[in-house]
Structure 1
Amino acid sequence: MNSQPIAVFDSGLGGLTVLRALRERLPQEDFFYFADTRYLPYGDRPEAFLRERGVLIAEALVRHGAKALVVACNTATAAAAEAIRAAVDLPIVALEPGVKPAVTQSRTGVIGVLATTRTLHSERFQRLVGNHAQQHRVVAQACPGLAEAIETDGPDSAAVEQLLDTFVAPVAEAGADVVVLGCTHYPWVAAAIARRLPAGVALLDTGEAVARQLERLLAAGNLLGGGSGQLRLATSGAPQAVGVTVDRLLGKKMHVEHWEP
């Protein structure tokens, strides 16, 4: 079991930021990254569809030989995490916006959250805020189209810059001193977000926390190690197009295979 890969899935390639943190912390693990780009963007999909799709992918990854699963997508977590946990018997780490750590860091009592519309409207996000941030003002800013623009046009594109101008301004004007990057795509544009915020505002990315939690779960199940640092990349969409984006984001060429759960 130890030699089997860890599966990581996202709607697209934002989860590569999480994968980067996972591989840095767990270099002796093998990883299988699946980008469900056939159905990108998840943020505009109905919750019922995302729940069914999440379970289908998770079950297929179990059959594919995964020893653990990372849901590297805040939107998929919001819609499908409970259903996935009920459907498969694997160590599972699912992303959610870092509201709880943001509360501990904030001095002004104002927290910004940048995320997809689906994530912010989910019952899971509302519960997260209710459980941990009742005494704080949470400025939840939906960013429709941003994740897709990062993938399609690139993090440094004019399209992304225009969207950031629109989405970051309300958070800055509200006086947030901690801003949660509530989508795995957003760390790719963290520097551009920071430029639009007052000096001293902290950006919170949950990639490292996810890596620590996965390490704990693997250790508890005696599943640590057994790999050699190998990485396979797959997509439900067009491998060549995804490969171009991977090359742009990672700065190196990687083979991408087609895989349909």
Structure 2
Amino acid sequence: MTAPPAPPIREPAVSAPAVPPALGGAPVGVFDSGLGGLSVLRAIRTALPHEPLLYLADSAHAPYGDKPPTVIQARAAVLLQTLRAAGCKAAVVACNTVTGLSIQALRAQHPGWPIVAIEPAVKPAAQLTHSGIIGVLATRNTVCSPGLARLIATHAAQVRVLTQACPGWVERVERGELDGPDTEAAVAAFVRPLCDAGADVLVLGCTHYPFLRPVIERVAGPRVTVLDPAPAVARELGRQLHAHGLAAPTPAAAAVTFWTSGDPAQVGRVLQRLWPGAPAVLALPGAG
């Protein structure tokens, strides 16, 4: 049982707007190590099309999956502070590695500011499995993170959880290599062993991986369910905005702005494939 991949969202070519003075009209900030978090941004755009969004890709420091935890924690703190200084009314951590390593510390640094974080969909996977075996595809740091360990202990103690690091997948997405024989071979190397071990639900534990979902589903076969937690993040963001009185005041479609700490031209080329019609990518203000 599989679901078709979501169609790409096409954006009008608009220039980056100034941060509106009214708090409800201020943007929601979303960040990831690179462009993988666009899978979360896509879900937010679909669920909350009236919300202005500011996406920050930390491309100069991607990928996060194999970096020391202290480096990732420091980058996450800088990026959240950057989004808050830009006037964002709320933030979304669109990176499972950051969530697993430091979400509690980040929230403690910003009390009262809504921060919604993605995490692997272990709970629904444990509820859906018929074989009693689920697989979690993630980066090395997420696989080893205390956050994932807590999720498994809390929500999947009665099932067998197979965790699988997938080195190289993030880099493929960052290069726009979403299909083809080499990509299929790279996906099969990590997906087939989980399926052969009996996993009938696979959790996408990195926001880059939904862009490989068609290949993952093709390799896994029709009897394996693939779960992406991005829609749940969008729903939680909507709930938080309403609870804090921060929902955008107008139902009109709002603009999306893209920042990167990397090379805007290089990031922009891949962005056009992942988010057709996106406006020009802007360099992250300041030193990045």
Could you say what secondary structure the match of 2:84 adopts?
A: helix
1:40 to 62, 71, 76: 62
Distance 1:66 1:18, change over 3 A: same
> Between the two proteins, what is the percent identity of the paired residues?
44
CA drift at 1:252: 2.8
Q: Report Cα offsets for 1:50-92 as digits up to 9, x if no partner.
A: 1111111111211110000000011111122112101113111
CA drift at 1:162: 2.2
Distance 2:56 2:180 in 1: 25
Name the structure with the higher helix share: 1
1:15 to 37, 58, 78: 37
Distance 2:173 2:83 in 1: 26
Alignment of 1:106-255 (within 5 A): 106-226=129-249, 228-255=253-280
Could you say what secondary structure the match of 2:135 adopts?
A: strand
Q: Report Cα offsets for 1:113-158 as digits up to 9, x if no partner.
A: 1100110001111111111111111111110111111221520144
Asked if 1 retains the 8 angstrom alpha-carbon contact of 2:176 and 2:273, the reply is: no
**RMSD over aligned Cα atoms:** 1.3
Amino acid at match of 1:88: H
CA drift at 1:247: 0.8
Distance 2:123 2:221 in 1: 22
Structure 2 residue 88 is matched with structure 1 residue 63: no
Q: Report Cα offsets for 1:5-47 as digits up to 9, x if no partner.
A: 0000000101111101101111111000000001011001111
Q: Which residue of 1 aligns with 2:108?
A: 86
Distance 2:176 2:28 in 1: 29
Gaps of 5+ in 1: none
Could you say what secondary structure the match of 2:134 adopts?
A: strand
Distance 1:146 1:219 in 2: 36
Distance 1:51 1:10 in 2: 12
Distance 1:4 1:258 in 2: 20
Q: Report Cα offsets for 1:192-231 as digits up to 9, x if no partner.
A: 1111113221110011100000011011001111364111
Amino acid at match of 2:238: E
Greater shift after overlay, 75-84 or 202-211? 75-84
Could you say what secondary structure the match of 2:220 adopts?
A: coil
Count of aligned pairs between the two proteins: 261
Distance 1:173 1:147 in 2: 24
CA drift at 1:179: 0.5
Distance 2:73 2:108 in 1: 12
Asked if 2 retains the 8 angstrom alpha-carbon contact of 1:44 and 1:118, the reply is: yes
CA drift at 1:250: 2.0
1:96 to 103, 119, 124: 119
Asked if 1 retains the 8 angstrom alpha-carbon contact of 2:101 and 2:145, the reply is: yes
1:2 to 24, 41, 57: 24
